[in-house]
Amino acid sequence: MEPLSESGLPRGQEGLHPRLAEVVRRHLEHPDRTPVPDHTVSAYRALLVALGPGARPLVLDSGCGTGEGTVALALRHPEAWVIGVDRSQHRLHKGPFRGLGAVRRAAGVGNAFAVRADVPGLWRLLAADGRKLAAHYVLHPNPWPKKQHMQRRWHGHPAFGSLLALGGEVTLVSNFSVYAEEFAAALTVARPALGEVRAEVYVPDPPLTRFEAKYVERGHPLWRVVARLGG
């Protein structure tokens, strides 16, 4: 069995990836042109219909998993439409957004939506329409702890430029310190005007999501990055 780190992750990359800045710059210079999957295009159209013409601020919970965090965020941002996005029907079905549709509502929480879609595709569609976020939560993304998988982390992904274009106050939380440190460093590379963005130790009280609750229960340390990307 692979040895585990103090965060319960398989031991993997230590320290920032040596090619991080180069990869971030390359992706910003050459925007992602891979086709957005059809199901994500349909889900996006259904989402626009569900949101309607009203101009509420938008809050995104990218990779929302079962969606408990999306509901908690909707209560924290009552003035906004809060949209959880996840590709996993299995995960969405285990939480407050049961059902089969591409866009679901949570009973009793009128401003919360969940969309079953591909996160990078949805980011690109929103950004291409010029939509801006008030806040963007990326809570416990898949860590991809191995060095060779850095480009699967969101800051190493071709869609990172769309995350930047969507703006708002972005919050990333992870139990993999390297993920948070790299995300902070990637923001510093991409947006020098922000100054040096840092990852900080984070103790949630109470935990917002299902993964967060699990990590807190096991005593795993967590890291958070918060940055105002502007509109």
Contact characters 77-96, ligand SAM, x per CB under 6 A:
--------xxxx--x-----
Indicate the residue among 23 and 53 with the shorter CB distance to ligand SAM: 23
Kindly list the distances between the CA atom of residue 224 and the CA atoms of 132, 139, 201, 211, in Å, as whole numbers in the listed order: 22, 9, 6, 14
Residue corresponding to tokens 């295009």 = 41
Piece of the chain touching ligand SAM by CB under 6 A; list 96-104, 138-146, 176-184, 223-231: 138-146
Per CB under 6 A, contacts with ligand SAM among 151-210 are 209-210
CA distance 166 to 135: 9
Site string for ligand SAM, 105-134 (x = CB under 6 A): -------------xxx--------------
Cβ–Cβ < 8 Å for 127, 100: no
Q: At its nearest, how many Å lie between ligand SAM and the CB of residue 196?
A: 26
Q: Which residues pair with 172 in a beta bridge?
A: 138, 225
Question: 199, 183 in Cβ contact below 8 A?
Answer: yes
Nearest approach, Cβ of 120 to ligand SAM (angstroms)? 6
Nearest to 81 by CA among 112, 47, 115: 112
Q: SS3 for 147-183, per residue?
A: HHHHHHCHHHCCCHHHHHHHCCEEEEEECCHHHHHHH
Question: Using CB under 6 A, which of the segments 19-27, 57-65, 183-191, 197-205 binds ligand SAM?
Answer: 57-65
Q: Answer yes or no: are the C-beta atoms of 211 and 184 closer than 8 Å.
A: no
Single out the residue of 76, 142, 228, 230 in contact with ligand SAM (rule: CB under 6 A).
142
Q: How far is the CB of 65 from ligand SAM (least distance, A)?
A: 3
Taking CB under 6 A as the rule, does residue 34 contact ligand SAM?
no
Binds ligand SAM by CB under 6 A, chosen from 81, 123, 211, 223? 211
Q: Which residues lie near ligand SAM (CB under 6 A)?
A: 63-65, 69, 85-88, 91, 118-120, 139-142, 209-212
